[in-house]
Amino acid sequence: MYDLRIAARGTQVAEDGGQRRRPRAGRPERPLDPADGPLSRFANELRQLRASVGYPSYRVLARTALFSASVLSTAASGSSFPTLQVTLAYASACGADATVWRARWETAAAELARQQAAARAAGQLVQHADRQRHSGHFGCRTRLAGRPRGSAALAEPAC
């Protein structure tokens, strides 16, 4: 029988003093293959860091990191490369050494820059995963094209 006391690092404390891992809540993260490149490898390292401290929720990390849970989640998603500030906040929220993670971030950033330069030299289109999506407002943009905006729209008669 387990009581309701929650121990650190995502475990529950049993009445006999033993601990068992509690199931993770929330949506499962998309699998990453570190062999896909520096972006996936870096995101995977961030996920491993979070796993090493017992998978705290991104909301819990956000309280310490002072970035939103969605920013921290995106940093570990592999869809875009996080800023140095986000990376250091993520790492410190997990209790990791900031100088180690600064070096990891700089290495990954250099690898990404080399990869992008090589792709440009080969004439390939360089796109990030986050730039491939659109916001879904294309219809609004085309309908509003040519119409006055701001105070000019207010100056026109309503009829």
Ordered by where they begin, the domains of the chain are 29-125 (1.10.260)
Question: Nearest 5 degrees, angle CA 146-CA 147-CA 153?
Answer: 150
The 19-21 sheet, strands edge to edge:
2-6, 11-14, 19-21
Mean pLDDT by 10 residues, the chain (159 residues): 40 52 67 86 94 92 93 92 95 95 96 90 62 44 53 54
Partner residues linked to 19 by β-bridges: 13
Q: Which pLDDT value is given to residue 2?
A: 34
- Compute CA 90 distance to the chain's CA centroid, rounded to the nearest angstrom: 9
Q: What is the four-CA torsion angle of 102, 115, 131, 70, rounded to 10 degrees?
A: -20
The overall pTM is greater than 0.95: no
Q: Which pLDDT value is given to residue 12?
A: 47
Give the per-residue SS3 of the chain: CEEEEECHHHEEEECCCCEEECCCCCCCCCCCCHHHCHHHHHHHHHHHHHHHCCCCCHHHHHHHHCCCHHHHHHHCCCCCCCCHHHHHHHHHHCCCCHHHHHHHHHHHHHHHHHHHHHHHHCCCCCCCHHHHCCCCCHHHHHHHCCCCCCHHHHHCCCC
Q: Which pLDDT value is given to residue 72?
A: 94
Query: Quick check: 49 and 91 in contact, CB under 8 A?
Result: yes
